[in-house]
Amino acid sequence: MRNSVLGTVLAGFLFAASPALATIMANLETPENMQDVSGITLIRGTAFSTNPETPVTVILRVNGTDITGNVLPCCSPRADVQAANPGAPLNTGFSTQINYGIFDPATLNSIGVRITAPNEQDVVIDRQVMVAKPGNAEFLSNFILGANANIAIDVNDIVIGGAQVISSGGAATTTNLRVSYVINSQSLVITQAFDGTNAALFNPVQAIFTSRCVSCHSGPSPLAGQDLSAGNSWKNIVAVRSGEDPSRPRVSPGDDDRSYLYQKIIPGGNIAPGTSRMPLNCGAGYGGNCLSQSDISTIEQWINDGARRPQ
């Protein structure tokens, strides 16, 4: 019995004297999960072992796969991390630049890191991202907002219609863009790009404008300053503030919910108080002067495709 008690006491002493297993503490600060990304930006974060003597290694991951040999520089001083984690080393920051233009937006799903340290459990952080790639270019040699471009505010976004982007190879492309301010990178980021033209979708829209709208919305003084005549309509509506609700564009590329023109033609649309559904005399008591569901769907499809120019 005495030997048994002595063995138990010794075992408890040895357990208490053994150092706790070290672990990796890590945070990927950019990108955040479900973040819109574009251009050249930083992947950055912090990592350290709870054993201050143990170095950590940070490896880039793309679509859930380690990029062998792509080790991120680590570790730079982060006094804020040390202050928030007593006992942490000062050097915990890692970062590297990445050009999202080298990726295919259709196939890039996630960006992440794997953090390793000798004799410790790896930490893997993957973040879903959505890539915008104007002109489908790895690098742009020029970005032009000329007389043919429109710019409007859409809540906290900037929408741009008819920008010209030129790739490093020299090819010019017309594009409609959505731009947002991203807090974690402290910069404006292109979140959506709708490149090129689409006459196949726009021409049927123009046919609706011509048959149902231009009696009021054309000429030297179009109603509400909105000229929907052929050759003028795109410039008058895409990324142009609505007169009835200046917080919304008449057409917000890629977003029918935020397109005031679309809201004006649908039943129960979100329009300014005291205003009416269009076309004129559409609604109860007017004999059904509204656009057909087919016409509404035609306009909706064009907007959600990015409201691209006809040529």
Triad 22, 64, 26: Cα angle to 5°: 30
Rounded Cα distance between 166 and 91, Å, is: 41
Phi-psi region of 64 (alpha: psi -120 to 50; beta: other; left: phi over 0): left
Beta bridge partners of 154: 157
Instruction: Look up residue 70 and give its amino acid.
Output: N
157-167 vs 140-144, strand pairing mode: antiparallel
Other beta carbons within 10 angstroms of residue 141's beta carbon come to 14
pLDDT at 19 over 90: no
Q: What is the pLDDT of residues 195-214, one digit of tens each?
A: 999 999 999 999 999 999 99
Q: What is the pLDDT of residue 287?
A: 60
Enumerate residues 6+ apart whose C-beta is below 8 A from 206.
230, 233, 310
- Domain locations along the chain: 20-131, 134-195, 199-304
- Pick 19 or 268 by higher pLDDT: 268
Question: Exposure of 14 by Cβ count < 10 A (0-12 exposed, 13-18 middle, 19+ buried)?
Answer: exposed
The CATH number of the structural domain formed by 20-131 is 2.60.40.10
Per-residue pLDDT averaged across 115-129, rounded? Answer: 97
CA 154 vs CA 41, 70, 160, 243, 276: distances in Å: 24, 39, 10, 13, 22
**Per-residue pLDDT tens over the stretch 290-308:** 999 999 999 999 999 999 9
**Residue 234 to residues 29, 108, 145, 198, 311, Cα–Cα distance (Å):** 40, 32, 16, 12, 11
Mean local confidence (pLDDT), 13-21: 41
Q: Is the dihedral of CA 173, 178, 180, 182 positive or negative?
A: negative
Give the three-state DSSP class for 72.
strand
Q: What is the pLDDT of residues 173-194, one digit of tens each?
A: 999 999 999 998 899 999 999 9
pLDDT above 80 for 17: no
Q: Which residue has the higher pLDDT, 23 or 287?
A: 23
pLDDT at 52 over 50: yes
Counts of helices then strands in the chain (DSSP H, E): 6, 14
In angstroms, the Cα distances linking 184 to 58, 99, 181, 189, 284 are 20, 17, 9, 11, 49
d(CA 180, CA 35): 11
C-alpha torsion angle, residues 8, 10, 11, 15 (rounded to 10): 140
Q: Is the pLDDT of residue 11 over 70?
A: no
pLDDT exceeds 70 at position 117: yes
Q: What is the mean pLDDT of residues 53-66?
A: 97
Q: Residue range 122-148: average pLDDT?
A: 95
